């Protein structure tokens, strides 16, 4: 960070806010993973642990962008996550609510980047906007599948298959990336 940054203060503030929101989501997914493990929902626990890792990668994409543009990122205190849930449905709904608020955060950042004509931040946000389409899709599917599994046997069967259910179908022409 040797020269004055050309990123506007508003966009800097939004990038910092979103980086911290991603870290906070990662913290919440770790708590969800631990709760699921404690309840013997090992499939959900693995799925949420993977999400925790991904949210940390997302935070890293934003902080790397700031550093590359001459701005030292400002990490904030991360609030305690929700650690306890009444049911698997409440846990799934919590994940879905987090993804909704993450989408709102990304949209707010994108609007700030549009207003500032900040093209690099806009392009960075294109990746995140796409990512949120996937995150919203799996979190809705998770809630729907938990709602549909309404007996103990149904829950353990769902737990056994949840990671595969929420995966994107693989195959020629099916995956968006690769």
Query: CB of 78: closest distance to Fe ion in angstroms?
Result: 14
| Minimum distance from residue 86 beta carbon to Fe ion (Å) | 23
Establish how many alpha carbons lie within 13 A of residue 155's alpha carbon, considering only the half-sphere containing its beta carbon.
14
Residue 30 as a binder of Fe ion (CB under 5 A): the answer is: no
Binders of Fe ion: how many residues, by CB under 5 A? 4
Question: What does the alpha-carbon distance between residue 136 and residue 80 come to, in Å, rounded to a whole number?
Answer: 23
Distance, CA of 42 to CA of 178 (rounded, Å): 29
Q: Are 116 and 101 in contact (CB under 8 A)?
A: no
Of 93, 23, 96, whose CA–CA distance to 60 is shortest? 23
Minimum Å distance from CB 177 to Fe ion? 16
58 contributes a contact to Fe ion by CB under 5 A = yes
How far is 15 from 31, CA to CA, in rounded Å?
Answer: 25
Q: Which C-beta is closer to Fe ion: that of 14 or that of 135? A: 135
Q: Which residues contact 124 (CB under 8 A, 6 or more apart)?
A: 61, 62, 65
CB of 87 to Fe ion, least distance (A): 22
Q: Which is nearer to Fe ion, 58 or 94 (CB)?
A: 58
Q: Does 14 bind Fe ion (CB under 5 A)?
A: no
Site string for Fe ion, 111-150 (x = CB under 5 A): ------------------------x---------------
Complex with Fe ion: residue 127 or 165, whichever CB lies closer: 127
Token output for 145 = 């599948």
| Contacts to Fe ion by CB under 5 A | 22, 55, 58, 135
């Amino acid at each position: 960070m040797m020269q004055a940054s050309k990123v506007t203060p508003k966009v800097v503030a939004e990038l910092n806010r979103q980086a911290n929101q991603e870290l906070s989501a990662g913290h919440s997914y770790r708590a969800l993973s631990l709760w699921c493990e404690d309840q013997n929902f090992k499939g959900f626990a693995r799925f949420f642990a993977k999400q925790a890792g991904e949210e940390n990668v997302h935070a890293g994409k934003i902080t790397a962008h700031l550093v590359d543009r001459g701005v030292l990122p400002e990490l904030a205190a991360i609030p305690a996550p929700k650690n306890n849930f009444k049911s698997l449905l409440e846990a799934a709904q919590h994940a879905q609510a987090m993804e909704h608020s993450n989408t709102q955060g990304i949209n707010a950042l994108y609007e700030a980047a549009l207003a500032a004509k900040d093209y690099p931040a806009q392009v960075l946000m294109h990746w995140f906007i796409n990512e949120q389409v996937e995150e919203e899709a799996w979190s809705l599917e998770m809630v729907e599948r938990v709602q549909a599994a309404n007996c103990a046997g149904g829950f353990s069967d769902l737990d056994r298959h949840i990671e595969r259910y929420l995966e994107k179908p693989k195959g020629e022409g099916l995956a968006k990336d690769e």
